Amino acid sequence: MSDLELDAVALGKVGMMRQTQPEFYVMRLHAVAGDLTARQIRCIARVAARYGRGSVHLSTRQGVEIHYVRQEDLEKARLELLEGGVEMGACGPRVRLIVACPGNETCRQGVIDTKAMAKTLDERYFKTETPSKFKMSVAGCSNNCSKATENDIGIRGAIEPEWVPASCSDCGLCMSLCPVRAISRRESGGNPETPFRYEADEASCINCSTCTSLCPSDAWRVGKRGYHVYIGGTMGRVPRFASLLKKFVTDEDDVYRLVEEAIAFYRQHGNKKERFGHMIDRIGLDTVREVILGSV
Protein backbone atom coordinates (compact mmCIF):
# COMPACT_ATOMS: atom_id res chain seq x y z
CA MET A 1 0.00 0.00 0.00
CA SER A 2 1.42 3.42 -0.90
CA ASP A 3 2.02 6.16 1.71
CA LEU A 4 -0.84 8.10 0.21
CA GLU A 5 -3.20 5.13 0.55
CA LEU A 6 -2.02 4.49 4.11
CA ASP A 7 -2.73 8.12 4.89
CA ALA A 8 -6.16 7.76 3.36
CA VAL A 9 -6.98 4.78 5.61
CA ALA A 10 -5.75 6.58 8.73
CA LEU A 11 -7.57 9.79 7.83
CA GLY A 12 -10.74 7.86 7.00
CA LYS A 13 -10.85 6.63 10.59
CA VAL A 14 -11.20 10.20 11.77
CA GLY A 15 -13.73 11.32 9.20
CA MET A 16 -11.46 12.72 6.49
CA MET A 17 -11.69 11.51 2.89
CA ARG A 18 -9.71 12.27 -0.21
CA GLN A 19 -11.76 14.03 -2.87
CA THR A 20 -11.86 13.34 -6.63
CA GLN A 21 -9.29 16.14 -6.82
CA PRO A 22 -6.34 14.41 -5.04
CA GLU A 23 -5.01 17.61 -3.45
CA PHE A 24 -8.24 18.15 -1.51
CA TYR A 25 -9.99 16.40 1.36
CA VAL A 26 -13.52 16.27 2.73
CA MET A 27 -13.86 16.81 6.47
CA ARG A 28 -16.91 14.95 7.74
CA LEU A 29 -18.20 16.35 11.04
CA HIS A 30 -19.94 14.83 14.02
CA ALA A 31 -23.53 15.80 14.81
CA VAL A 32 -25.96 13.63 16.77
CA ALA A 33 -29.52 13.52 15.44
CA GLY A 34 -28.67 16.41 13.10
CA ASP A 35 -28.35 18.89 15.97
CA LEU A 36 -25.70 21.60 16.12
CA THR A 37 -25.57 24.63 18.41
CA ALA A 38 -25.25 28.19 17.11
CA ARG A 39 -21.67 28.23 18.47
CA GLN A 40 -20.82 25.07 16.54
CA ILE A 41 -22.39 26.42 13.36
CA ARG A 42 -20.39 29.67 13.64
CA CYS A 43 -17.21 27.66 14.14
CA ILE A 44 -17.94 25.44 11.12
CA ALA A 45 -18.61 28.53 9.01
CA ARG A 46 -15.28 30.05 10.09
CA VAL A 47 -13.31 26.89 9.31
CA ALA A 48 -15.08 26.41 5.98
CA ALA A 49 -14.19 29.98 5.01
CA ARG A 50 -10.58 29.70 6.19
CA TYR A 51 -9.62 26.24 4.93
CA GLY A 52 -12.34 25.24 2.44
CA ARG A 53 -14.19 27.24 -0.16
CA GLY A 54 -16.58 28.99 2.18
CA SER A 55 -19.44 26.53 1.93
CA VAL A 56 -20.52 23.25 3.52
CA HIS A 57 -22.29 20.20 2.18
CA LEU A 58 -25.23 18.69 4.09
CA SER A 59 -25.14 14.92 3.75
CA THR A 60 -28.17 12.68 3.36
CA ARG A 61 -27.62 11.48 6.96
CA GLN A 62 -27.86 14.79 8.80
CA GLY A 63 -24.12 15.27 8.59
CA VAL A 64 -22.14 18.38 7.71
CA GLU A 65 -19.05 18.21 5.54
CA ILE A 66 -16.43 20.78 4.69
CA HIS A 67 -15.02 20.15 1.22
CA TYR A 68 -11.89 21.37 -0.55
CA VAL A 69 -9.53 21.28 2.45
CA ARG A 70 -5.84 20.76 1.62
CA GLN A 71 -4.01 17.94 3.39
CA GLU A 72 -1.58 20.36 5.07
CA ASP A 73 -4.53 22.26 6.57
CA LEU A 74 -6.43 19.24 7.93
CA GLU A 75 -4.89 19.24 11.39
CA LYS A 76 -5.21 23.02 11.86
CA ALA A 77 -8.83 22.85 10.73
CA ARG A 78 -9.54 19.89 13.03
CA LEU A 79 -8.10 21.71 16.06
CA GLU A 80 -10.10 24.87 15.31
CA LEU A 81 -13.24 22.80 15.00
CA LEU A 82 -12.51 21.06 18.28
CA GLU A 83 -12.06 24.43 19.97
CA GLY A 84 -15.53 25.38 18.75
CA GLY A 85 -17.04 22.14 20.10
CA VAL A 86 -17.15 20.30 16.77
CA GLU A 87 -15.71 16.80 16.55
CA MET A 88 -14.88 14.77 13.49
CA GLY A 89 -17.32 12.30 11.98
CA ALA A 90 -16.70 8.76 10.72
CA CYS A 91 -15.95 6.98 7.45
CA GLY A 92 -15.17 3.33 6.66
CA PRO A 93 -16.22 0.14 8.44
CA ARG A 94 -17.55 1.53 11.68
CA VAL A 95 -20.69 2.92 13.31
CA ARG A 96 -21.65 6.15 11.58
CA LEU A 97 -23.59 9.22 12.71
CA ILE A 98 -26.81 8.30 14.51
CA VAL A 99 -29.74 9.82 12.65
CA ALA A 100 -33.00 10.84 14.34
CA CYS A 101 -36.09 12.89 13.58
CA PRO A 102 -37.10 15.57 16.14
CA GLY A 103 -39.32 13.07 17.99
CA ASN A 104 -41.60 14.12 20.81
CA GLU A 105 -39.39 17.06 21.82
CA THR A 106 -40.97 19.24 19.14
CA CYS A 107 -43.03 17.11 16.76
CA ARG A 108 -46.67 16.76 17.79
CA GLN A 109 -46.84 13.27 16.36
CA GLY A 110 -43.75 11.99 18.13
CA VAL A 111 -44.27 9.33 20.77
CA ILE A 112 -40.67 8.76 21.90
CA ASP A 113 -37.66 10.89 22.78
CA THR A 114 -35.62 10.16 19.65
CA LYS A 115 -32.81 12.57 20.44
CA ALA A 116 -32.10 11.12 23.88
CA MET A 117 -31.98 7.66 22.35
CA ALA A 118 -29.71 8.80 19.52
CA LYS A 119 -27.39 10.40 22.07
CA THR A 120 -27.17 7.19 24.09
CA LEU A 121 -26.46 5.13 20.96
CA ASP A 122 -23.85 7.68 19.88
CA GLU A 123 -22.09 7.54 23.24
CA ARG A 124 -21.99 3.76 23.18
CA TYR A 125 -21.18 2.99 19.56
CA PHE A 126 -20.10 5.95 17.43
CA LYS A 127 -16.92 5.12 15.48
CA THR A 128 -16.64 1.60 16.92
CA GLU A 129 -15.52 -0.93 14.31
CA THR A 130 -17.86 -3.27 12.45
CA PRO A 131 -17.36 -5.54 9.41
CA SER A 132 -18.77 -2.86 7.09
CA LYS A 133 -20.30 0.57 7.61
CA PHE A 134 -23.08 0.47 10.20
CA LYS A 135 -25.96 2.92 10.32
CA MET A 136 -28.64 3.50 12.91
CA SER A 137 -31.70 5.72 12.88
CA VAL A 138 -34.46 6.56 15.35
CA ALA A 139 -37.92 7.67 14.20
CA GLY A 140 -40.43 9.21 16.59
CA CYS A 141 -43.52 7.54 15.16
CA SER A 142 -44.83 5.38 12.35
CA ASN A 143 -44.39 8.20 9.83
CA ASN A 144 -40.78 7.06 9.89
CA CYS A 145 -39.41 10.40 8.65
CA SER A 146 -35.85 9.41 9.55
CA LYS A 147 -36.20 6.18 7.53
CA ALA A 148 -35.45 3.76 10.35
CA THR A 149 -36.23 0.88 7.99
CA GLU A 150 -33.38 1.82 5.64
CA ASN A 151 -30.79 1.40 8.38
CA ASP A 152 -28.76 -1.49 9.77
CA ILE A 153 -30.65 -0.89 12.99
CA GLY A 154 -33.83 1.17 13.00
CA ILE A 155 -35.93 2.10 16.01
CA ARG A 156 -39.42 3.49 15.57
CA GLY A 157 -41.75 4.92 18.20
CA ALA A 158 -45.02 3.04 18.61
CA ILE A 159 -48.19 3.19 20.70
CA GLU A 160 -50.76 0.70 21.87
CA PRO A 161 -54.25 2.22 21.54
CA GLU A 162 -56.87 1.94 24.27
CA TRP A 163 -60.57 2.45 23.59
CA VAL A 164 -62.59 4.56 26.06
CA PRO A 165 -66.27 3.53 25.74
CA ALA A 166 -67.73 6.55 27.53
CA SER A 167 -66.20 8.96 24.99
CA CYS A 168 -67.11 7.09 21.80
CA SER A 169 -69.89 8.51 19.60
CA ASP A 170 -70.02 5.34 17.46
CA CYS A 171 -69.23 7.33 14.30
CA GLY A 172 -67.21 4.47 12.80
CA LEU A 173 -64.48 6.78 11.45
CA CYS A 174 -61.62 4.92 13.09
CA MET A 175 -62.45 1.71 11.22
CA SER A 176 -61.99 3.41 7.87
CA LEU A 177 -58.94 5.46 8.95
CA CYS A 178 -56.91 2.59 10.37
CA PRO A 179 -54.32 1.88 7.63
CA VAL A 180 -54.37 -1.87 8.22
CA ARG A 181 -58.08 -2.27 9.07
CA ALA A 182 -57.22 -3.54 12.55
CA ILE A 183 -60.26 -1.93 14.19
CA SER A 184 -63.59 -3.67 14.34
CA ARG A 185 -66.95 -2.96 15.97
CA ARG A 186 -68.71 -5.60 18.05
CA GLU A 187 -72.14 -5.71 19.66
CA SER A 188 -71.82 -6.09 23.42
CA GLY A 189 -74.64 -8.57 23.91
CA GLY A 190 -77.52 -6.39 25.10
CA ASN A 191 -75.64 -4.39 27.76
CA PRO A 192 -77.57 -1.04 27.70
CA GLU A 193 -74.60 0.90 29.12
CA THR A 194 -72.11 -0.23 26.47
CA PRO A 195 -74.14 -1.73 23.60
CA PHE A 196 -71.08 -1.85 21.32
CA ARG A 197 -67.30 -2.13 21.54
CA TYR A 198 -64.48 -1.04 19.25
CA GLU A 199 -61.43 -3.26 19.33
CA ALA A 200 -57.96 -3.04 17.81
CA ASP A 201 -56.62 -6.44 16.79
CA GLU A 202 -53.23 -6.74 18.49
CA ALA A 203 -51.70 -8.97 15.82
CA SER A 204 -52.50 -6.74 12.86
CA CYS A 205 -52.19 -3.33 14.60
CA ILE A 206 -49.00 -1.56 13.48
CA ASN A 207 -49.10 0.76 16.53
CA CYS A 208 -49.23 3.81 14.33
CA SER A 209 -51.33 6.28 16.38
CA THR A 210 -53.70 7.19 13.54
CA CYS A 211 -56.71 6.28 15.68
CA THR A 212 -55.45 8.11 18.77
CA SER A 213 -54.65 11.25 16.74
CA LEU A 214 -57.77 11.40 14.61
CA CYS A 215 -60.70 10.11 16.67
CA PRO A 216 -62.95 13.21 16.90
CA SER A 217 -64.10 12.24 20.41
CA ASP A 218 -60.74 11.26 21.92
CA ALA A 219 -62.13 7.78 22.43
CA TRP A 220 -58.89 6.14 21.31
CA ARG A 221 -56.14 7.06 23.74
CA VAL A 222 -52.51 6.07 24.05
CA GLY A 223 -52.46 3.04 26.34
CA LYS A 224 -48.73 2.33 26.25
CA ARG A 225 -45.71 3.70 24.40
CA GLY A 226 -42.99 1.49 23.01
CA TYR A 227 -40.51 0.81 20.23
CA HIS A 228 -40.41 -1.32 17.11
CA VAL A 229 -36.87 -2.54 16.46
CA TYR A 230 -35.75 -3.32 12.90
CA ILE A 231 -32.54 -4.89 11.62
CA GLY A 232 -30.72 -5.19 8.32
CA GLY A 233 -31.97 -2.25 6.30
CA THR A 234 -29.59 -0.78 3.76
CA MET A 235 -29.54 1.31 0.61
CA GLY A 236 -26.52 1.14 -1.69
CA ARG A 237 -25.94 -1.16 -4.65
CA VAL A 238 -28.03 -3.99 -3.24
CA PRO A 239 -30.77 -2.31 -1.21
CA ARG A 240 -32.65 -4.25 1.43
CA PHE A 241 -35.67 -3.18 3.44
CA ALA A 242 -35.17 -3.79 7.17
CA SER A 243 -36.74 -6.81 8.87
CA LEU A 244 -38.73 -6.44 12.06
CA LEU A 245 -36.66 -7.81 14.93
CA LYS A 246 -39.20 -7.18 17.68
CA LYS A 247 -42.53 -5.47 17.74
CA PHE A 248 -43.51 -3.14 20.56
CA VAL A 249 -40.66 -3.32 23.05
CA THR A 250 -41.90 -1.38 26.08
CA ASP A 251 -38.70 -1.12 28.11
CA GLU A 252 -36.10 1.28 26.68
CA ASP A 253 -33.29 -0.74 28.26
CA ASP A 254 -34.47 -3.80 26.32
CA VAL A 255 -34.01 -1.80 23.12
CA TYR A 256 -30.39 -1.12 24.09
CA ARG A 257 -29.89 -4.79 24.94
CA LEU A 258 -31.20 -5.79 21.49
CA VAL A 259 -28.92 -3.26 19.80
CA GLU A 260 -25.94 -4.57 21.78
CA GLU A 261 -26.69 -8.18 20.84
CA ALA A 262 -27.32 -7.34 17.19
CA ILE A 263 -23.99 -5.50 16.86
CA ALA A 264 -22.15 -8.27 18.73
CA PHE A 265 -23.66 -10.88 16.41
CA TYR A 266 -22.68 -8.86 13.35
CA ARG A 267 -19.12 -8.43 14.61
CA GLN A 268 -18.85 -12.14 15.19
CA HIS A 269 -20.47 -13.42 11.98
CA GLY A 270 -20.25 -10.65 9.38
CA ASN A 271 -17.66 -10.97 6.63
CA LYS A 272 -15.39 -8.06 5.84
CA LYS A 273 -17.34 -5.44 3.82
CA GLU A 274 -20.57 -7.44 4.13
CA ARG A 275 -23.49 -5.27 5.23
CA PHE A 276 -25.52 -6.46 8.20
CA GLY A 277 -28.64 -7.10 6.10
CA HIS A 278 -26.71 -9.18 3.57
CA MET A 279 -25.21 -11.22 6.42
CA ILE A 280 -28.76 -11.80 7.68
CA ASP A 281 -29.78 -13.06 4.21
CA ARG A 282 -26.75 -15.37 4.09
CA ILE A 283 -27.34 -16.85 7.55
CA GLY A 284 -31.14 -16.73 7.55
CA LEU A 285 -33.41 -14.20 9.25
CA ASP A 286 -35.04 -16.72 11.60
CA THR A 287 -31.67 -17.92 12.90
CA VAL A 288 -30.33 -14.39 13.41
CA ARG A 289 -33.54 -13.25 15.05
CA GLU A 290 -33.62 -16.26 17.36
CA VAL A 291 -30.06 -15.70 18.55
CA ILE A 292 -30.51 -11.96 19.13
CA LEU A 293 -33.89 -12.28 20.84
CA GLY A 294 -32.78 -15.34 22.81
CA SER A 295 -29.92 -13.53 24.41
CA VAL A 296 -32.02 -10.67 25.82
Q: Is 88 in the site for ligand SF4 (CB under 6 A)?
A: no
Q: CA-CA distance, 293 to 296, in Å (whole number)?
A: 6
CB count, 10 Å around CB of 2? 7
Q: CA-CA distance, 149 to 128, in Å (whole number)?
A: 22
3-state secondary structure 68-121: EEEHHHHHHHHHHHHHCCCCECCCCCEEEEEEECCHHHCCCCCCCCHHHHHHHH
Nearer to ligand SF4, 107 or 291 (CB): 107
Number of residues that bind ligand SF4 (CB under 6 A): 37
CB count, 10 Å around CB of 65? 19
Candidate residues 6, 79, 82, 180; the one interacting with ligand SF4 per rule CB under 6 A: 180
Candidate residues 66, 86, 208, 231; the one interacting with ligand SF4 per rule CB under 6 A: 208
Candidate residues 8, 153, 182, 258; the one interacting with ligand SF4 per rule CB under 6 A: 182
Residues between 105 and 134 that touch ligand SF4 (CB under 6 A): 107, 109-110
What residue type is 60 in one-letter code?
T
Beta bridge partners of 199: 184
DSSP character at residue 125 = H
Shortest Cβ distance from residue 133 to ligand SF4 (Å)? 23
Shortest Cβ distance from residue 147 to ligand SF4 (Å)? 9
Q: Is 151 in the site for ligand SF4 (CB under 6 A)?
A: no
Binding site for ligand SF4 (CB under 6 A): 101-103, 107, 109-110, 139-141, 143-145, 161, 168-174, 178, 180, 182-183, 198, 200, 205-211, 215, 217, 219-220
